[in-house]
Structure 1
C-alpha cells in the first residue's frame, strides 16, 4: 500500500513540475511566468519529497522535510525579488497591470489610505 501511495505522489509531483515548465514556456508575460515558476513547481516538489519520504527510513525523511520547508519559505521571496527586478528593468508591460503599487513606492508618493479624505475628529 505504501508503494502505491508513494507512486501516486511521485507521479503527481512530476505532473505539476511539467505543467509549471509548460506554463513558463507558454504564458505571455513576466508576472504570469513567475506564477508558473513558483506555485506548481513548489507543489510538485512537495509531492515528490513526500513520495520519496514514504520510501525512506524516518531519519532521512526529516532531511526531506527540511528541504520542503526551505522551498516553501524561499520560493515566494525569490518570486517577489524577480518581479521587482523585472519591473525596474522595464520587462513588465505596465499597461497590463491592474494596480501599480510599485510606482507609488518608486515615486515616493506612498498613499496610506488613512491620510486621504479622513478628517480629524477635532475639526
Structure 2
C-alpha cells in the first residue's frame, strides 16, 4: 500500500503564503526553532502524527527564527506552538510539547 504523507517543511520567504496554499484542507502548523529543547523533543512526534494521518491534513513546520514576521503576525509568544487552520483561518492552537497520540487526538477533533 502506498501512503502519501502531506508533511511539509516550510522554507520560504513568505511562510504565510505557504499556509494559504493549503486552504483546500486542514493545515496543522508547528512553529519551532532548532535551539528549543521542547521543539526538538516534539519533532519526531509531530512527524509521526503526520504519517499516521495521511490525506487528512497538511502538516507544516515553520522555523520561527526564520519567519519572525509571521510569528509576530500570528502572536506566537512561546514555542513549540501548533496551530490548526481551515480555509486559511486559525481555528485553534496549543503550546508545549505533546506526544504523537496527543497531537492526533487534538487534530481529530477538527476533522
The TM-score, its normalising length taken from structure 2, stands at 0.29
Pick the structure with more strand per residue: 2
Higher relative contact order (CA 8 A, sep 6+): 2
Higher alpha-carbon Rg:
1
